Every structure is written in structure tokens, then in C-alpha cells.
Amino acid sequence: MLFLLLLAVAGRAGAQTFQPYKSGVIAYHGYSYPIVPGTDEWKSISHTQRVASLQLPADTLQSISTARLLETCLYYPFNIDIFALDDQIYSFSRVKEQFNGYSELYQRTDFVQQLMNLYSSRDVAFVNQIEIDREQGHYAFDYHIMEFMFTDVALWASDAQAAQIVAMLYEKKEQKTQYSVYGSTNRMVIALAIGRSLQRTNAFSDYQGTTLQAFLQSGKPTNASDLEYIYSKAKNP
């Protein structure tokens, strides 16, 4: 009996715990998936089984705090699929549909504020602490995911929150230009989140561009002049 107990304890001790990135520069407080991506067990199952293994149990969905749920969604292993297609807004909608963590998160009344808190708390310059180039890219990716979330949040945030979101996103955009690791892949996404927030204040009434409203509605790529106009309004609201 004692042998079996020791064996069980040893088994649990040897089990891997989900950790988004190896360097662990930022501590992870979200849900720990029972099958950790990258392990032999993960590699032995199909894609469908992997998606199923990542779904949160019903009791977890009910009890997990919004802050922890947000981190769980932020580091959902299949978020990378957002970049599988040129239409990233559509790809993001598909990712949200396949993970029940997103469904629960978007129903939380404090989701908007928790997202704002987390995004504003992240220091753009912290990537300099990471020595592995690939890991730098991973942490930069966190910002991209939150900015995708903001494209949705902008549609239902309060007026006060919308104004704060505009200022926050524009400030981060300016800060990120100093670090090549952030690239320009999410330039359109930030503009969309800012634009949707500003649209509620009739900020674009003087703009003559014909593609701006279509961009704000669909999120599909638009011309550079639309993005620059959105940024100019964010800089001087």
C-alpha cells in the first residue's frame, strides 16, 4: 500500500505543468491544462482530441476568476491559428468559437476592465530581459492577442472605457516602434480597435475616405491613409 502511494506521488511530481513559455519572465496564473502541449501525450493524440483536451471543465468555468480566465485565454495554445489566414479578424472569430474559455470570458461583466488592467500593466520594454529571440516573439505575441480582444471590446465598453482604450492603445503603439520584435503585423488590428472606440464619438464625420466605414465594420485590410487618419484622431481626439 505504501509502495503504491509513493508511486502515485512520484508520478504527480514528474508530471509537467502547463507554462506558456520556457523563460517564464512573466508568471502564469491561468488554468493548467491536464494534457500539456508539447509533451509525448500531446503528440500522441489527434488535433481534434487536442482541442477537446483544452476545454475547461464546467465547474472551472463557474469558479475561475475573470483575471485568471483572461490569462487562460491569452495563452490558449491554438491562438497561433489567428495568423493562419490573411483575414485575421475572421481567424480570431474561429479561434474563439473552438474554445469555451473565450465564450465564458466574453460574458463576464468585468472582462473589459480586467483586459484594460492587464494590457496597461505590461511593460513594452520587458522583452529586453529575454535572451532567446523566439521567446521574445512569444511575449510580443501576447500584446497581439489582447489587441484582437480590444477590437471586440470596443463595441460594448462604456464611453469612459472607450476613451481610455484609445489612449492606451495609441501609447503602446508608439512605444512598440522602438522594438523591432513587435514588428508591424498588428498595426491594422490596433487601428481597428482604436477606430471602433472612436467611432462611437462621431470622430470620423469629417473624413472623406470611402473605405474607412467598411474597415471598421468588417476589420478587413484597408489602405494606409485610413490607418493614418485613425491614428491622427487618436493622437488628437
According to the model, what pLDDT value does residue 6 have? Answer: 33
Q: Which stretches in the chain have pLDDT values below 50?
A: 1-14
According to the model, what pLDDT value does residue 201 have? Answer: 81
Question: What contacts 214, CB < 8 A, 6 or more positions away?
Answer: 220, 222
According to the model, what pLDDT value does residue 125 have? Answer: 84
Question: Of 231, 125, 218, nearest to 187 (Cα)?
Answer: 231
According to the model, what pLDDT value does residue 67 have? Answer: 97
According to the model, what pLDDT value does residue 22 have? Answer: 66
Torsion from C-alpha of 164, 99, 182, 38, nearest 10 degrees: 150
40 φ/ψ angles, rounded to the nearest 5 degrees: -60, -40
According to the model, what pLDDT value does residue 45 have? Answer: 95
Please give the grid coordinates belonging to residue 194.
Answer: 482604436
According to the model, what pLDDT value does residue 15 have? Answer: 53
Please give the grid coordinates belonging to residue 187.
Answer: 498595426
pTM of the model: 0.87
Judge residue 108's burial from the number of C-beta atoms within 10 Å of its C-beta, 0-12 exposed, 13-18 middle, 19 or more buried.
middle
Indicate the helix (H) or strand (E) that contains 218: helix 212-218
Please give the grid coordinates belonging to residue 233.
Answer: 484622431
According to the model, what pLDDT value does residue 234 have? Answer: 93
According to the model, what pLDDT value does residue 23 have? Answer: 65
Please give the grid coordinates belonging to residue 140.
Answer: 510580443
According to the model, what pLDDT value does residue 184 have? Answer: 64
Written as one letter, the residue type at 126 is: F
According to the model, what pLDDT value does residue 77 have? Answer: 93
According to the model, what pLDDT value does residue 56 have? Answer: 97
